[in-house]
Structure 1
Amino acid sequence: MAIKNNQVISMQYELKVNGNLIESNLDGDSIEFVFGSGDIVPGLEARIIDMNEGESKDIKVPAIEAYGNYDENLSEIVPIEEFKGIDLQIGMILEGENENGELFKATVSDVTKENVTVDYNHPLAGNDLDFKIVINKIV
C-alpha cells in the first residue's frame, strides 16, 4: 500500500551531506509522522509518496527542496557586548526570540574582540541531502 495524506508513517533513515553522516536511526527506533503535515523536509516527503511498507530507498533531496539555498543576507554582525556572560565559540547555536515573540536559532560564525557574526541560515542550508529511507509501517 503506497503512502497517502494523513497516514501515520513509521520510518527509519540515514542522512548524509557530502558523504558525511549527519544523523541516523537505522540501528534504533523509527520516527513517526503524519504524511502531508509538513513534519519532514518537503523534498523528502515528495519523494517517498510512492513507497510501500517494508520498502527501502536511497533518495537525494536538492538543497532548494530541503532547507533552501544559503542566503548571505541572513548573516549579521552584532556588538559583542550583547553577549555578556556567554562563552562564545564558533559553531555554537544560539536561541532567541524576535520582536514578534517567535523563537529562532542562529549559528556563531565569527567572534572578534568587538563583534560577533551570527548566521540565521539553517545549518544545512545550501546542501543537497542524501537519505537512506526504510518505510516500516503505514497506518
Structure 2
Amino acid sequence: MSVITENSAVTLHFTIKLKDGSVADSTHNIGKPAKFSMGDGSLSPNFEQCLVGLQAGESKAIELEAKDAFGMPNPDFIQYMDKSRFSGQELEIGTIMAFSGPDGSEIPGIISEISGESVKVDFNHPLAGQAVIFDVEILTVE
C-alpha cells in the first residue's frame, strides 16, 4: 500500500473545523474529494508534513495553530477602494466578491467596511488568524 511521501499525488476528503466544532469547509458538501500533489502549494508546508506517512484508507484529525494553517491576517491584504468601482452591485458587509489579481487570476475579497464613498476590502483568507482542525480521510496515494 502506498504511503504519502513528499512526492505523492493524493486524493482525500477533508473537513475543516474551527475550535468550537463548527464546520468551515468540507469536500463532503460537494460530494467530491480533493486532489493535489505534495509541494504544489495548495496546502501549507506544515499541513503537508502532517500527511507524510499516512496511507490510503487512513483517517486523521490534524490540529493546526493559525500560523500553520492559513496564516495570520496580513494588514497589507486590506485595501480601500472607491465605491464607484462597485456601481450596480449591492454592497453588504461580509459579502465575498471576486476581484482580478495582478496576474489576471480571480482573488476573493471580503467587504469588511463601507464608509461614505470608501469600501474596505479584506483579501486575507477568511480563516486567517484561526486555529483549525482538519479531519482528513486519505482515499488514494500515487
Instruction: Compute the TM-score of the two structures, normalised by the length of structure 1.
Output: 0.84
8 A contact 1:6–1:37 mirrored in 2? no
User: Which of 33, 56, 68 is the aligned partner of 1:65?
Assistant: 68
The counterpart of 1:29, out of the listed 28, 32, 39, is 32
Distance 1:118 1:126 in 2: 17
C-alpha contact (below 8 Å) 1:42/1:66 kept by paired residues: no
Structure 2 residues without counterparts, runs of 5 or longer:
none
| Corresponding residue number in structure 1 for 2:94 | 91
User: Given residue 13 of structure 1, which amino acid in structure 2 is its aligned partner?
Assistant: F
Q: Which amino acid aligns with 1:25?
A: T
Q: CA deviation at 1:16?
A: 0.6
Query: Identity over the aligned pairs, expressed in percent?
Result: 28
Verify the 8 A CA contact 2:39 2:45 in the aligned structure 1.
Answer: no
1:127 aligned onto 2:130: yes
Of 80, 104, 109, which aligns to 2:107? 104
Aligned AA (1:119)? D
2:118 matched to which residue of 1? Answer: 115
- CA contact under 8 A between 1:5 and 1:35: conserved in structure 2? yes
Check 1:67–1:85 CA distance in 2 against 1; reply closer, same or farther (3 A cut): same
Equivalences, count: 139
Structure 1 residue 100: Cα displacement: 5.1
Q: What residue in structure 2 maps to residue 55 of structure 1?
A: 58
SS at match of 2:49: helix
Letter in 2 for 1:90: I
When residues 118 and 24 of structure 1 are mapped into structure 2, their CA distance, relative to the original with a 3 A threshold, is same
Q: Any idea what the Cα deviations from partners look like across 1:40-83, whole Å, max 9, x if unmatched?
A: 33322110102122111110122222221012342223232222
Structure 1, 96-105 or 49-58: larger mean CA deviation: 96-105
How far apart, CA to CA, are the structure 2 residues paired with 1:35 and 1:100? Answer: 24
Segments of 5+ residues of structure 1 without an aligned counterpart are none
Q: Distance in 2 between matches of 1:100 and 1:10?
A: 28
Alignment RMSD: 2.1
2:105 and 2:12 map into 1 onto residues whose CA distance is 30
